[in-house]
Amino acid sequence: MLTLFWLFFMSATFLIRIDVPDSRSVAHDTSLEAAGESVLQYGLGLDAEVAGENRLAELLSQADNDGACTLLQDALMAGKEANCWLAKNSGISNPYGLVGTPSGNTVTVHHLLTVDDNVWTISLTLWNIGGGA
């Protein structure tokens, strides 16, 4: 009886198959995160046109929030888009620049920037377009 049970049990283990889906690739998220970090570094690396540490800080000190976000969004590589959110001194984040609707998964990159006596939170919500990776 024990042998029959054992044979039945072993046969069942060969017949039962559980399909476990592959986890989502982290490379997808990493490419978006790297693109966001690159764009922020680009904005911080540009020289100011009139006064300030860099072009991004200069635009924020002039209260040109749309200009600051447009600067960052225009620097994104092809195949990626972003919504830009700005918050001043721990206030509510608001979207500026070109606002789009994400298609698919998104990644948000944050950066704190001190301009004069204000602390700005810059957030970029990035996604792929056109099947890019």
**pLDDT (0 to 100) of residue 84:** 96
**pLDDT (0 to 100) of residue 105:** 86
Over residues 26-54, the mean pLDDT reads 87
What DSSP character marks residue 114? E
Counting Cβ atoms within 10 Å, is residue 29 exposed (0-12), middle (13-18) or buried (19+)? Answer: middle
Q: What does the block give as tokens for 28? A: 């997808």
Q: How confident is the model at residue 132 (pLDDT cuts 50, 70, 90)?
A: very low
Identify which of 78, 123, 83 has the alpha carbon closest to the alpha carbon of residue 100: 83
Span 53-76, pLDDT tens digits: 899 999 999 999 999 999 999 999
Span 6-35, pLDDT tens digits: 667 666 666 666 666 555 655 667 889 999
Contacts of 15 (CB under 8 A, 6+ apart): none
User: Across all residues in the chain, what is the average pLDDT?
Assistant: 85
Q: What does the block give as tokens for 78? A: 């092809």
Q: Which residue has the higher pLDDT, 23 or 132?
A: 23
Alpha helical stretches, state H, the chain? 2-15, 26-45, 55-61, 65-74
**pLDDT (0 to 100) of residue 10:** 66
Cα–Cα distance, 72 to 124 (Å, whole number): 9
Domain positions in the chain: 27-128
pTM confidence score: 0.75
